[in-house]
Structure 1
């Protein structure tokens, strides 16, 4: 199926080829080859518009849990859905409710959470967190084996909204950060009922090469495998492949490349003209592109 039109004497066509299918994921592509500097666009909210959220300091710190805490906090902040609240005294405070007959913990001290992860944590001092402006509180703890437990507290209602468990790859594993991003999206869904975008990865072009990067600006990786000028990267629906145009001797040829292996293959019927701007159909079976 092809549509052709003319603009300024240049014939441009839109073509499509059939490809293998794959499950949809949240992925975006961006060509920054013509951008010299970044521009940050944000929204300034009136106080009280966004619900307040506090991410509680980790009770039993470890390199892995510290990373979960840092990445999760940043993801929730970057979601722009919450007003993140800094506890008095920075990260040195974790206030819990007193057990019956026990003295309440001091505001500057750390409350006892007990062992066994978030499931065994003492109930939070909800009135105190309400006074600090929090609507939600998030607690991070180690689970059994290589898992993490994240408890989402509904401070306004005075109870646990949801307990989330996730298996974490090893700290140095390439999938470690992605697992935390996915966990952050689940936290947002538990709190507000809508999914997040923390697990999004972006494709962009720099110096003629295609790179991928996490939505929070970390984990930048070179993913294209050619020395020729690359342009117009686009994710496949399965998130394991992408397509891009390689410019060479006045022609533009499209390629499909696997992210994990780096193997690539040319897209049939391209390369004899200027083929560019590939775009996958939602089901991943069809690749549309422009031809000039």
Structure 2
């Protein structure tokens, strides 16, 4: 699952795709093709993807990660950990991390949406601050010096589908949301937030420019009206665009509104001793900074027992 409606652009000062091609394009050989590389576990679901490595003496390794939506933490959310682990497990002698390429696919579909992900190198097998650069299939083939197989691979083994849980929206006081942890973006750190408040700046990122108070109240109205009509919360999710527009949602508010009511990316807090988020870390930070009163969060109830 993703905590962001759109991916951030790459940080300033990093080389672009054309520069990487100019420096690193070379005829490589595929040295690794692990169809079910397991890099982590999230909520009891193995985090897997196809990992291909392409190598040649004198140039950085190119790593190609291909994943379907049912394989645990996404390539975007797990980028640092996945690339670090691939470097450590399959390219440990290299002094630099592999050039990381990611490709999210759906079984049976062919897409050309590839991304090059640059990182900061904090130490051996320690990467941080990913950026996302679109790269075409032709550019990827040029970088590797051969045609790259962008499919999930014949060795792909789908994960067993878990029992279907029941979607439930909860209205929650923002003050009761867990305290967010810094996550990638500079405006999530305490020092940067303090400086922003002193300068009266709220334009540091997409999250901090949204009117979360208005959007949250509109989301609550959508849920409450649907329930008065006898609809389930799943009905709300399935008819999201129609219902939000019926209540007069402005086009500028739709991305933020959908980020609250879309079950795949809605705010999903975990309360208790080790409070955290599956999704919503940055949105919760922005809401707390703006002193929003309440919002909608996504929860999942256990599957209904078989009769």
TM-score range, shorter chain: under 0.3
What TM-score comes out, normalization by structure 2 length? 0.25
Structure with the higher fraction of residues in helix conformation? 2
Structure with the higher fraction of residues in strand conformation? 1
What TM-score comes out, normalization by structure 1 length? 0.26
